[in-house]
Amino acid sequence: MIARRPWHLAGGFVVLACVVGAAAQGAAGTTTGKPVIGKPLTGSARPIPGKRFTVSFKVTDSFTKAPVSRGTMVCAPSIAGKVVAHQQSFRKGIARVSFVVPASAAGKVIKLTLTIKAATGSTTKAFAFRVAPAIAKSGAPSGHYAGTTSQGKPFSFDFDHNSMLVSNLTATVDLTCDNGASVTQPVPELKSARVQGDLSFGVERKESQPAVVVVTLRGTLTESGSANGTLVYDTTAAVEPFGTHCATGSLTWAATTGGR
C-alpha cells in the first residue's frame, strides 16, 4: 500500500511524511525481535538539485537477522521548509523513499526520520544528506591563458570548460631572501584546481622536505576570457646557505586566453 502527498510550502520547512504498510511474506517473514534499520543506500553520492534522489534501507529482525516483511513504515524527510512529492514502499525487508530534490535546495540539508513499526516493537532512526551545491556552467572559454605577475614575470595555465579544471599552472617569480640575496626561479609544480560556480579557483602546495615550501595561488575567471588573482611563494632553501628564508610577498597576476 503506497500513500502519496503533493508538495506544499510549510512555513519555511519542508516535511515529507509517508506511511506504508508492508504485506506479510509468510511464516519466514514473521517478526520476532525489534526491527533494525540499516545504513542508507543511495543511487548517487549525494542529492543533486533538480534530480531524483532515492534512498533505501534494509530492515532486519534483531533476533533472527532475517528481513522484516510485515510492519508499517513512517518516514519524514524535510528540505529547508518545502514538502516534495514523493514515492515510498516497504517490501521484502527494504524501505525505500524517492523524490525530486527542489532546485532551490542546493547546498541545504535533507533531514529524514524513518520509523519501522512491527508487532514486536518499533525503531526510529534519523539521517541527514547534504544537497550538492548548484553548479553554474562557466561562461569562461576553454583554452590556454597566459600573462604576467606584478613582477613582470610569466604566468600561465590551461582551462577546460567541460571538466571545470584549471591545469598546467606555471609561473616564474623573483624571491627576496633574508641574507640580502635575490633569486629568480619557477614556482614548484602545482596540481589542477577545480573552478567553482562563481568561477573562482585556488590551489596550495606545502612541503617540508628537502626544503620548506609554501605556495598559495588564488584566481577568478571571467566570461570575457580573462583571469586574475594572487600568488604567494615562501621557501627556506632557494639559495645557500641552506635554511635561508626567501619569499615573494603577495603578488598579483593577470592572464587572458590566447595571451602570450
Q: Are residues 45 and 117 in the same domain?
A: yes
Are 120 and 155 in the same domain? no
Per-residue confidence in pLDDT tens, the chain, 260 aa: 444 444 333 333 344 445 444 433 434 445 578 999 999 998 777 888 888 999 999 999 999 999 998 889 988 788 766 677 788 899 989 999 998 888 888 889 998 889 999 888 899 999 999 988 876 555 789 999 999 999 999 999 999 988 889 999 999 999 998 888 888 989 988 999 988 878 899 999 988 777 788 999 999 999 899 999 999 999 886 556 556 888 999 999 999 997 55
Kindly state whether residues 59 and 109 are assigned to the same domain.
Answer: yes
User: Is the same domain home to 230 and 148?
Assistant: yes
Phi/psi for 104 (5° steps) reads -75, -5
pLDDT of residue 136: 56
Q: How far is CA 71 from CA 21, 62, 66, 90, 161, in A?
A: 6, 14, 14, 8, 51
In a domain, 3, yes or no: no
169 lies in the same domain as 211: yes
| Structure confidence at residue 105 (pLDDT) | 86
Give the model's pLDDT for residue 86.
Answer: 80
Domain contains 232: yes
The CATH code of the domain that includes 84 is 2.60.40.10
Q: Are residues 177 and 212 in the same domain?
A: yes
Q: Cell numbers at residue 159, please?
A: 582551462
Q: Residue 151 is part of which domain span?
A: 143-257
Residue 10 lies in a domain: no
DSSP state of 178: T
Q: Which CATH number goes with the domain that contains 197?
A: 2.40.128
Are 222 and 159 within one domain?
yes
